[in-house]
Amino acid sequence: MVRATVHDVARAAGVSLATIDRVLNRRGGVRAATIEKVEQAISRLDYRRDSAAAMLAKQHEYRLAFVIPTGVNTFLSNLAAEVRRLADVSRADRVSIAIVEVPPFDGEALADALKQLETQSLTGAAVVATDNSTVRQAIDRLVAQGVCVVTLVSDVPASKRAHYIGIDNSAAGRTAASLMGRFLRGEKGRVAIVAGSMLLRDHAERRFGFEQVLRTEFPDLVPLPVVEGLDNAAVAEEALGAQLDRYADIVGVYSLGAGNRGVIAALRKRGLAGKICVIAHELTAHSRAALNDGVFAAILNQDPGHEARSAIRILRALADGVAIDPGQERIRIDIYLRDNLP
């Protein structure tokens, strides 16, 4: 069977080779009806692009941007470090990577940063995003410019982003509740929940999954209203401390954001370290020490290196119009106890 070529697709769709090139490379300037005709012709002819040959012919360079919040969030700092490392080793593959830093929890600043990317002739962008209308619109404008956009760590599913790279956060919350319920089997009391910000979809989904399992499977464990630590140790310590001082029957804490240092400080200050079951997220130097010391019972982790590598692979695949391997790109929820720390 003779393999279909771009010339065959152009003839079948009744458009020029230039138009085919724009559709295949997701560049702007093509009407929706024309894109649909091209995609129908591709499907009808079972056209499969030879991405390696196309790249060699055009001496193609992938220009990628990672938009990552700054601040004291150790996990995001580790993610940025992984991206910088990969930027060095990816140059040989004609991949250019820039990191764009934005303030945490600031949707307007994020939207402004995405707007600036519209003028930079990017191949793709990976965005750690706040989920609000301003950010959604900024992502959609970037996509309209022909830029492949994926969300990283925290999703914006109502936008036109092409892919989400990160753990299933609802499942992570459910897992945290299942662990806590088993650790506290037979006990009754309240459970404090410390988030970074409920503006982040990953935090909202973790809370939802956590409360869902507590209420249905462990009704003796009553979740308290979530407190927001804004990924700031001092804020998290004060917010959790106020709940610990108010409720003497708190038996568990779910730290679902980056406020772990504040959680540790609040517990130690009151002599409660090791006496309350704490489930936290992300394996960092501070959370590792807390797990070793018995302050934390378990840590749910996602691999920032895997996420950074996955973002680069997926953005390249989207740019080349080739398939993505779901198994390779699925980000696992790792569960660490003191006994299995790497």
- CA–CA distance, 198 with 193 (Å, rounded to integer): 12
Return phi, psi of residue 221, to 5°: -105, 110
Return phi, psi of residue 308, to 5°: -65, -45
For the chain, residues with pLDDT lower than 70 are: 1-2, 18, 26-29, 49-60
| C-alpha count within 13 angstroms, C-beta hemisphere, residue 148 | 23
H helix runs in the chain, sequence order? 6-13, 17-24, 32-45, 51-58, 74-90, 107-117, 133-144, 169-183, 201-217, 233-246, 260-269, 285-292, 304-320, 326-329
Cβ contacts of 342 within 8 Å, gap of 6 or more: 283, 336
CB atoms within 10 A of CB 114: 26
Cβ contacts of 270 within 8 Å, gap of 6 or more: 241, 244, 245
Expressed in angstroms, the distance from the first to the final Cα of the chain is: 51
pLDDT at residue 94, rounded to an integer = 87
Q: 163-196: buried (b, 16+ CB within 10 Å) or exposed (e) per residue?
A: bbbbbbbbebbbbbbbbbbeebeeeebbbbbbbb
Choosing among 3.40.50.2300, 3.30.230.10, 3.40.1080.10, 3.10.100.10, the CATH entry for 169-301 is 3.40.50.2300
What amino acid is encoded at 216 in this protein? T
Residue-averaged pLDDT of the chain: 92
- CA–CA distance, 140 with 230 (Å, rounded to integer): 27
pLDDT at residue 16, rounded to an integer = 79
CB atoms within 10 A of CB 100: 16
Strand order in the sheet with 95-102: 95-102, 62-69, 124-127, 148-152, 163-165
CB atoms within 10 A of CB 320: 20
pLDDT at residue 56, rounded to an integer = 46
Q: Tell me yes or no: is domain 57-165+304-329 CATH 3.40.50.2300.
A: yes
What does CATH list as the number for 6-48? 1.10.260.40
pLDDT at residue 27, rounded to an integer = 65
Residue with tokens 């993610």: 79
pLDDT at residue 331, rounded to an integer = 97
Same fold for the domain at 6-48 and the one at 169-301? no
- CA–CA distance, 116 with 96 (Å, rounded to integer): 17
pTM, rounded to two decimals: 0.81
Q: Strand 277-281 and strand 298-301: pairing?
A: parallel
| 156 and 129 Cβ atoms separated by less than 8 Å | yes
The domain locations on the chain are: 6-48, 57-165+304-329, 169-301
